[in-house]
Amino acid sequence: MWEGIESGLATAFTASNLAVVVIGCFAGTIIGMLPGLGPISAIALMIPITYGLDPAAAMILMAGVYYGAIFGGSTSSILINAPGVAGTVATTFDGYPLARRGQAGKALAIAAYASFTGGTVAALLLIFAAPALASVSLSFQSADYFALMFLGLIAVCAFAGKGYVLKSLLMTVFGLMLATVGTDPTAGVPRFTFGQIDLIDGISFLLLAMACFAISEALMTILKDEDSAQMAASAAKGTMGSLLLKKREVKEIAPAVGRSSVLGFFVGVLPGAGGTIASFLAWGMEKGLARGRDREAFGKGSLRGLAAPETANNAASTGSFVPLLTLGIPGSGTTAVMLGALLSFGIQPGPRLYIEEPAVFWSVIISMYVGNIVLLILNLPLIPYIARLLAVRKEILVPMILFFSLIGVYLVSFNVFDLWLMVLVGVVAIGLRLLDLPLAPMILGFILGDILEDNLRRALIISNGSPDFLWARPSTLFIMAIAALIALVPLLGRWRTGRTVQAGEGG
């Protein structure tokens, strides 16, 4: 392990890769701050650029962008009460009231310090958890991998939230269907290509990601006529207040940050759970633990109430890299996009990545830590200025986003057909959004589709077509049992709600 860490350190600390982290964090912060654009869009927009880099630098760039985008999302949550993504919604509860009291600087500083600590603790836990999980999964066979993919897809749906479980399942199936477009890898049979030669290789992952996130989000901004540029400008011109924290304030938030770091990491490791659940859980946990006046301050500008979700969100983001790097299973929409990018580099994340590409594996983990430091020492002091840059009108910004998305996809294939298809997919994505159908499970299904089919085919060949491969090996059975348990989570939630309602009516 230590040789791997050394080689990762050597890779991460080259001048060019350090520059890549800085650029990534900076670009991520700016994109993440823009209304409607979250980490998924930020990473999707970066993918065309990563094709000019080596795999390690590409992953480092994406990790930097990921962190930057999360921090950018927190900034817009605090400054203008506009969380770019669900993961920073809990940040607005106490962050925005603090900003309104003229303590925006302090709120941003707490967000940065809390994110830094959460990221640091999680990165340390990742260093030990990832190799352990990778060594266990070395003995995995096709049946186990199929079960793992199944677990990942089920988990994403089970944790989708009230009212979204069925929709997520449906969208996962839709994503898996889209993944079957193109030539079947074993028999060489073209499937669902409508005789179009441009579809022989299937739908490009980048095209789908860009159309579903960057293009549809930009168009949704126009549809909804959202304009937070003016608010951002006024927030930036207004008083930021001091960025420094008092000793008493540090003491107040320190235990919350510690608890939320561990909680966030473990929630992040669960496939499908991610930063949103972690941040809400951490906020709820701290509120539950608070007493008297402290408790009353929650939702009105409590420092603990801001620090907890920020810490947990960042720790969960790091935690979500554990299943991605060790099992090759993305735990969230963002890591799904990263998996797609890795696959296009010819790198298959999973236990073998740890052995065959230790430099990539460890440099990504180390870069996450470097990304945290960059955010703290570079981005934080620059926030007032970055926020001013964001006063660019959406009438200029949206055409730019559309252009970057279109040209990003074109530069990979140099095929104009992809531009036509992208507009079509973008329009379909808007329709799905308007119908409240979530797109992240669809992307996850699309990315896992090929690997899932490949492992299912192998498992069936080994078992002579019998479905007993699902329970023949203890490891497969164990994973399928966890999947079954996770599938019960929404039912359990419904049962508990029913009991509460009954108790309420009875009492």
Q: Kindly give the residue spans of alpha helices, DSSP state H, lying in 390-439.
A: 394-413, 416-434
3-state secondary structure of 191: strand
Interaction pattern, residues 407-446, with other proteins; x per rule: CB under 8 A: x--xx----x--xx-xx--xx--xxx-xxxx---------
Tell me which H or E stretch contains 291: none
**Closest separation between CB of residue 199 and other proteins, Å?**
13
3-state secondary structure of 357: coil
Interaction pattern, residues 52-81, with other proteins; x per rule: CB under 8 A: x-----------------------------
d(CA 377, CA 407) in angstroms, rounded, equals 33
d(CA 323, CA 465) in angstroms, rounded, equals 29
**Closest separation between CB of residue 493 and other proteins, Å?**
14
**Closest separation between CB of residue 31 and other proteins, Å?**
16
User: Of the candidates 22, 124, 173, 386, which one interacts with other proteins according to CB under 8 A?
Assistant: 173
User: Of the candidates 297, 462, 487, 489, which one interacts with other proteins according to CB under 8 A?
Assistant: 462
If binding is defined by CB under 8 A, does position 244 make contact with other proteins? no
Q: Are 139 and 456 in contact (CB under 8 A)?
A: no
If binding is defined by CB under 8 A, does position 163 make contact with other proteins? yes
d(CA 380, CA 87) in angstroms, rounded, equals 19
Sign of the CA dihedral running 188, 191, 195, 200: negative
| Residues 385-404, interacting with other proteins (CB under 8 A) | 393-396, 398-400, 402-403
Smaller CB distance to other proteins: residue 132 or 461?
461
If binding is defined by CB under 8 A, does position 290 make contact with other proteins? no
Sign of the CA dihedral running 313, 314, 316, 320: positive
Report CA Rg, the chain. 22
If binding is defined by CB under 8 A, does position 352 make contact with other proteins? no
Interface segment toward other proteins; rule CB under 8 A; list 235-243, 252-260, 266-274, 457-465 = 457-465
d(CA 109, CA 115) in angstroms, rounded, equals 10
Any idea of the CA torsion for 122, 127, 130, 136, to the nearest 10 degrees?
-140
**Closest separation between CB of residue 187 and other proteins, Å?**
4
| Residues 210-239, interacting with other proteins (CB under 8 A) | 215, 219, 222-225
d(CA 332, CA 36) in angstroms, rounded, equals 18
**Closest separation between CB of residue 461 and other proteins, Å?**
4
Smaller CB distance to other proteins: residue 249 or 450?
450
Residues in binding contact with other proteins, number by CB under 8 A:
59
**Closest separation between CB of residue 158 and other proteins, Å?**
14
Smaller CB distance to other proteins: residue 23 or 289?
23
Smaller CB distance to other proteins: residue 5 or 392?
392
**What contacts 58, CB < 8 A, 6 or more positions away?**
50, 51, 341, 345
d(CA 412, CA 42) in angstroms, rounded, equals 17
359-398 burial, b at 16+ Cβ within 10 Å, e below that, comes to bbbbbbbbbbbbbbebbbeebbeebbebbeebbeebeebb
3-state secondary structure of 460: helix
Q: In Å, what is the CA distance from 167 to each residue of 245, 436, 439?
A: 44, 8, 10
d(CA 382, CA 244) in angstroms, rounded, equals 15
User: Of the candidates 2, 3, 15, 189, which one interacts with other proteins according to CB under 8 A?
Assistant: 189
If binding is defined by CB under 8 A, does position 124 make contact with other proteins? no
d(CA 299, CA 495) in angstroms, rounded, equals 29
If binding is defined by CB under 8 A, does position 158 make contact with other proteins? no
If binding is defined by CB under 8 A, does position 461 make contact with other proteins? yes
Smaller CB distance to other proteins: residue 224 or 496?
224
3-state secondary structure of 190: strand
Interface segment toward other proteins; rule CB under 8 A; list 94-102, 103-111, 171-179, 472-480 = 171-179
Smaller CB distance to other proteins: residue 176 or 303?
176
Interface segment toward other proteins; rule CB under 8 A; list 176-184, 234-242, 292-300, 352-360 = 176-184
Where do contacts with other proteins occur on this chain (CB under 8 A)?
52, 163, 166-167, 169-170, 173-174, 176-177, 180, 184, 186-187, 189, 191-192, 215, 219, 222-225, 393-396, 398-400, 402-403, 406-407, 410-411, 416, 419-420, 422-423, 426-427, 430-432, 434-437, 453, 456-457, 460-465
